[in-house]
Amino acid sequence: MAVLRLRVDTPLFVLGGGSLVVGLDAFYSGGFLYVVDITSPRVLAAAAAGSLEGVIKAVSSRPADYAKACIPSPPLPDKTEVKLGVIPPASTIKGLLRTAYLLRVLHADDKPASGFLQAVGEAIDEGAAPKYVASAGEEVVFKRVIDGRRFDIFSLVAVRERRAEAQFKVYRVDVYERDRVKASFYAVGLAPGSRLEYEVSTRPKPREDGGFEQVLTEGDLKEALKLFSQSLTAFERGRGLYVPNCNAVRLGFGAGRRWKTVLNFIEQRDPQLFRKIESYMSQRLGRPWGDNTVKTAEGKPVGWVCYEWS
């Protein structure tokens, strides 16, 4: 077993906890956003009248008295929607490691690399749904036949959440397109300095003869993440963006398409296919699919974490 330790460097957003509306189920006061369950008996009892307006009036006057949570926040006007972030689940980390391992295999072996590129190209030619374009290529790397049975080798990898020292804050997230702010929104994210730990383990594949085959190891995953980090941090520096001075990756919402795919490899190995993918995805999604937008919070690209293994 190995332990992957993460330290949040820039605000990190893994969205999936719903949202709040200021003045309805959240109230700003004195540097904090107070989260309130307006349907709880205690809150309902505070209102002289049973109407929603009465409940909100009672709670808004003293939100700290009724809050189930309070989160550091910049001033927020009523009716502002605030998206809720959560601690990255184990599935997020496993997805990161899977993409990193895919890149390692493609770099190391021409045979699966050629098969991957061919499968992706054919998926586009066949009009596959966008989410299945990459899956067609990944099968070349991850689906193996052992003892006559086909299975995904990454099912041999387990990731478990271990410990978290998490501090959440409300941030304004600005979406930059080149040098201008295209859009902005508010979200609860993990603050810089938050620390997360995950257990990462690999198990051998049982064989029909009673033995075991070690298809991939924790060492393979460490090398894969190192290669993935080096490739993508070089890309980020190349376009003039902030990169922390550590072994680093980007996670969560706003990290960008490069951190969730092996587009860097495709662009380097087959530029024509890369352009074909961009055109196809833009057409299917009905919007430009590229690297022109950058999501920032507190003046830096979101989602950077420093990592180390033990």
Distance in angstroms (rounded) separating the CA atoms of residues 24 and 16: 20
More confident site: 44 or 50:
44
Q: How far from the centroid of its chain's Cα atoms is residue 154's Cα?
A: 19
Structure confidence at residue 187 (pLDDT): 98
Contact yes or no for 305/248 (Cβ under 8 A): yes
What is the pLDDT at residue 94?
98
Region 149-168 average pLDDT? 95
Q: 54: Cβ–Cβ under 8 A, 6 or more apart, which residues? A: 47, 48
Q: Contacts from 112-116 at CB under 8 Å and sequence distance 24+? A: 112/140, 112/141, 113/265, 113/269, 115/140, 116/140, 116/141
> Across the beta sheet with 26-29, what order do the strands follow?
26-29, 32-35, 69-72
Give the pLDDT score at 131: 85
Q: What pLDDT sits at residue 193?
A: 98
Structure tokens at 112: 């699966």
Residue 209 CA, distance from chain mean position: 40
Residue 156 has pLDDT above 90, yes or no: yes
Give 50's pLDDT tier (boundaries 50, 70, 90). Answer: low
Instruction: List, for residues 196-246, the tens digit of each pLDDT value.
Output: 999 999 999 887 777 788 899 999 999 999 999 999 999 999 999 999 999
Which pLDDT score, from 0 to 100, does residue 149 have? 81
**Chain mean pLDDT for the chain:** 93
Q: Where are the domains of the chain?
A: 23-79, 88-163+200-296
Mean pLDDT, range 261-289, rounded to an integer: 95
Alpha carbon distance 165, 188 (integer Å): 16
CB 288 within 8 A of CB 273: no
pLDDT at 120: 97
pLDDT at 197: 99
User: Integer distance in angstroms from the first to the last C-alpha of the chain?
Assistant: 9
pTM of the model: 0.93
> Quick one: CA dihedral 276, 278, 283, 284, positive or negative?
positive
Q: Span 9-35, mean pLDDT?
A: 95
The pair of structure tokens assigned to 204 is 């051998």
pLDDT over threshold 70, residue 72: yes
Question: Among candidates 255, 146, 200, 193, which has minimal Cα distance to 1?
Answer: 200
Per-residue pLDDT at 48: 57
pLDDT of 95-140, one tens digit each? 999 999 999 999 999 999 999 999 999 999 999 998 899 899 999 9
Helices (H), the chain: 41-46, 52-61, 63-66, 90-108, 110-125, 130-142, 218-238, 263-269, 271-285
Place 47 in a pLDDT band, splitting at 50, 70 and 90.
low
Given this model, what pLDDT does residue 46 score? Answer: 66
- Lowest-pLDDT range of 23-27, 85-89, 211-215, 251-255: 211-215
CA 67/CA 200 separation, integer angstroms:
37
pLDDT band at 66 (very low <50, low <70, confident <90, very high): confident
Of 236, 270, 239, nearest in space to 250 by CA: 236
Of 5, 8, 26, the closest CA to residue 17 belongs to: 26
Structure tokens given for 42? 């205690």
Residue 160 in this model has a pLDDT that exceeds 90: yes
Question: Percent helix, strand, coil in the chain (nearest 5)?
Answer: 40, 30, 30
